[in-house]
Amino acid sequence: MMLLSFVISPAAGAEPPSNVVSSDTTPSGLVGIGGKWFVQQGAKPAYFYRDGDRYVDLFSYHTKDSNKDGVENVRLRHDSQFLIMESQGYPNHPTAIFPNSGNPNTIKLQKFVFRLPLEPKMADKITRLPMGPVGTALNGVVFFNPFEAGGMNAVEGYSEVWLDSCCGHPSPTGVYHYHKYPSCVKSPFADDGKQHSPVIGFAFDGFPVYGPHEESGVMAKDLKGERALDVCNGHHDDQRGYHYHVTPGRFPYILGGYAGVVEPSNSPGLRRAGTGPIVNNAQPGTRMDQVITAVRPGTAARGQTHQIQIELNPQDAQRRMAVPAEKPSWGQVGPYEAKKISREGNIVTIEIEIPADATVGVVFDCHLEFEPATGRPPIVFKKNDVFRVID
């Protein structure tokens, strides 16, 4: 068999060594450990997942030491029942500075141990999603359900919370997490919208979570009839069996419930979880400051450097704090950090570089940060769903 090496333009400067083997039979050197999982033995074993007709090394990119403490972000092992994933829960992509004016919490290292069933099984009843972790992205950062601590929709409506441009923020206990499609999580393949999206993580029942695309030009959330996603955000197909999809802009965003048998050791809330899917309770309106009024252009091509203009309205009646008069100290659109920043009046111009393998078709958020006064957290502003990468 021919081993193909795919080089990805990463968000945070590392070079992912992910490998893929395409074959209808188990390639030489891979040993099955259960279900769709295989291990390639060596000084550092590599774990491959059979995704349709491909055997994909999902995790090698994410075993880097992002915070330089001598511990890899993700460590893998297995036993007879589970792929065992140890994680610090530390994002390996750019984030906002925390704490900030939109979130008072600090990102802290975790000691997660997740057990993903090697052979996930469909359950007789849907298990309700608990608060706290409900699954994990490939980088070891956890998915939360769509609700904030008070039980209201955290992604949209009056209870919307402040998420950075990578769609994450830390909890009061310091757990950085995603409430919606994490636009900065990389995978061994670019998601160019021309085929089924790649795996971006796993639910705690062991079934994979894929990106938003079902096929060329079709989002999974738009499927109808027998192919439509169920209340858990999952469906079956002949190549992948049962699996979940993220649904940008549509509740439940990542997961709506567990269709499979859940491993309860993965989250304390699973030991007392009820049954049935979650239900959207978003209330009209928003508490977000509407200081960013426009982002232009709203689309830009892959593989190029672009100037993006961000229009501010410092007089916005909903603001909770004054908008600084100086230029922002930082700006980010989706996973793309500002390389240069300037400001003339209420127009901020940022320069971003979009790699050739950037995700296509998904609408990204934008956030700006302003240097605080001495001893104060950064002042941050956000606007959702403002920018899309095109071919």
Dihedral over Cα of 312, 317, 323, 328: its sign: negative
Residues 310 and 250 in one domain: no
Residues 385 and 260 in one domain: no
Give the structural domain span for 163. 1-287
What is the model's pLDDT at position 82?
A: 98
Residues 246 and 203 in one domain: yes
What is the model's pLDDT at position 22?
A: 59
What is the model's pLDDT at position 38?
A: 96
What is the model's pLDDT at position 320?
A: 64
Residues 51 and 101 in one domain: yes
What is the model's pLDDT at position 5?
A: 26
Instruction: Look up residue 165 and give its amino acid.
Output: S
Separation CA 386–CA 295 (nearest Å)? 6
What is the model's pLDDT at position 318?
A: 56
* Three-class SS state of 199: strand
Residues 28 and 148 in one domain: yes
The three state secondary structure string of 200-219 is EEEECCCCEEECCEEECCEE
**How many separate domains does the chain show?**
2
What is the model's pLDDT at position 6?
A: 25
Residues 254 and 376 in one domain: no
Residues 265 and 384 in one domain: no
What is the model's pLDDT at position 4?
A: 28
What is the model's pLDDT at position 283?
A: 87
Among 251, 267, 287, give the residue marking a domain's end: 287
Residues 123 and 146 in one domain: yes
* Residues sharing a CB contact under 8 Å with residue 39, sequence separation 6 or more, in sequence order: 30, 31, 33, 45, 46, 47, 48, 78
The three state secondary structure string of 2-40 is CCEECCCCCCCCCCCCCEEEECCCCCCCEEEEECCEEEE
What is the model's pLDDT at position 13?
A: 36
Residue-by-residue pLDDT tens, the chain, 391 positions: 222 222 223 333 334 344 566 556 677 789 999 999 999 988 888 999 999 988 999 998 887 888 888 888 899 999 999 999 999 999 999 999 999 999 999 999 999 999 999 999 999 999 999 999 999 999 999 999 999 999 999 999 888 999 999 999 999 999 999 999 999 997 777 898 999 999 999 999 999 999 999 999 999 999 999 999 999 999 999 999 999 999 999 999 999 999 999 999 999 899 888 999 999 999 887 665 689 999 999 999 999 999 999 999 887 645 567 789 999 999 999 999 999 999 999 999 999 999 998 999 899 999 999 997 777 899 999 999 999 999 8
Residues 282 and 367 in one domain: no
What is the model's pLDDT at position 10?
A: 34
CA–CA distance from 335 to each of 15, 143, 148, 178 (Å)? 16, 18, 23, 14
What is the model's pLDDT at position 8?
A: 28
> Contact at 8 Å (CB) between 259 and 242?
yes
Global pTM exceeds 0.85: yes
Classify the phi-psi angles of 145: left when phi > 0, otherwise alpha if psi is within -120 to 50, otherwise beta. beta
Separation CA 332–CA 341 (nearest Å)? 10
Dihedral over Cα of 80, 81, 86, 90: its sign: positive
Among 287, 322, 346, give the residue marking a domain's end: 287
Residues 181 and 250 in one domain: yes
Separation CA 109–CA 105 (nearest Å)? 13
Residues 36 and 114 in one domain: yes
